[in-house]
Amino acid sequence: MAYYHVLATDAAGDGSGDSWANAMTLAEWIAWIDSASYAAGDIYYIKEDTYTLTATLDLSDRPGTSVAPVSLIGVKAGTTNEGANIVYSDWSTGLIDGGADDRPDFDVDGYYIVTGNYYKIFNIIFAGNAGTADRLLNTSTASVSFNVKISNTTSTSDKWGVQLGSYGKAIACEIVNENGYGVSLPGGNYVLYSYVHDCKNGLGCSGHAFNVISSIIADCSVNGATMGSCDHNLFLSNTFYNCPVGILASDSYDNLIINNIIDNCADAFKWSSAQQDANIFLRNHEGNNVTRMYDTTTNKISELLPHTDFDPTSGDPKFTTPGSDFSLQSDSPCIDEGLAMVLGVG
């Protein structure tokens, strides 16, 4: 394992990356990677600034391993610590820690980014027009994105903001993609504490056993989540807001949909074939929605199925500022109404 330092401008050193004085520029870093002068376990610290891609950043043949992932970590502009001495307080976590956004910003400028397997991408913005590329960011197997913003401004329809690899994870990420899908879930994925908004479809699911937890999916023009025939999935404690359909599926089964708030959607849940009793809907709040569960096979709301929902609540959830601040006001009907941890507590 080695530590490297990356700056947007030339540090006037030798470009080896072994210190901030010898930091690599973006062009030097790409050349370094292309020359195969890397090793699994390497950590690249990228200082806050704007980095403009002049070609696709393809790291797919530079993988990490399960015990030695490759890490790309954004750090604050004023960071002076180096290598093993860089600590969490140097990281570009200002926004999630309640301050200003201090992440390095990659302007894709018609290109895109592909990682190898086992990557950790922390505290970075990837934004711009990815053109006709299928996605702006493609993370490969078992990679983790934390505190990453992906904003794909392409006008080409049905492309992706981020395509997670199998078992890939997005934690505390923001994803925007007005003309396409926000996040691709191929299977075994986690989306946690993330904000997916202003997409055509927020979540697009092509595999099984994914988990969406404590996230906000808002202002999507078609669906909040599109499951198709994907099974064995978990939606826990999420907010779906202002999407024509909160969750759309076909014959998807064995899903757990628990403690979610679905508000200002024409249909909270919509199955294009018979909704399966193997799906469990538990303690969801179904707010200002036209229908709860619409089954297009029977052309009716599936109110009478035994597992449609156990004890849902309804009415205005009373967000602090609907559309921008989804915290709940003190008189919200959602407070203390979800399934709570009571066994072994108190």
Q: How far is CA 170 from CA 24, 116, 120, 176, 192, in A?
A: 27, 16, 10, 14, 6
Name which of 216, 123, 143 is nearest 186 in CA terms.
Answer: 143
CB 69 within 8 A of CB 115: no
Q: How far is CA 57 from CA 107, 123, 148, 203, in A?
A: 11, 17, 16, 24
Confidence label for 301 from pLDDT (cuts 50, 70 and 90): very low
Supply the pTM of this predicted model.
0.94
pLDDT digits (tens, 9 = 90+) for 241-292: 999 999 998 888 889 999 999 999 988 888 877 666 678 888 899 888 767 6
State the sign of the Cα–Cα–Cα–Cα dihedral 90, 3, 12, 50: negative
pLDDT score at 30: 85
pLDDT exceeds cutoff 50 at 42: yes
pLDDT digits (tens, 9 = 90+) for 160-201: 999 999 999 999 999 999 889 999 999 999 999 999 999 999
- What is the four-CA torsion angle of 266, 270, 272, 273, rounded to 10 degrees? -150
CB 65 within 8 A of CB 93: no
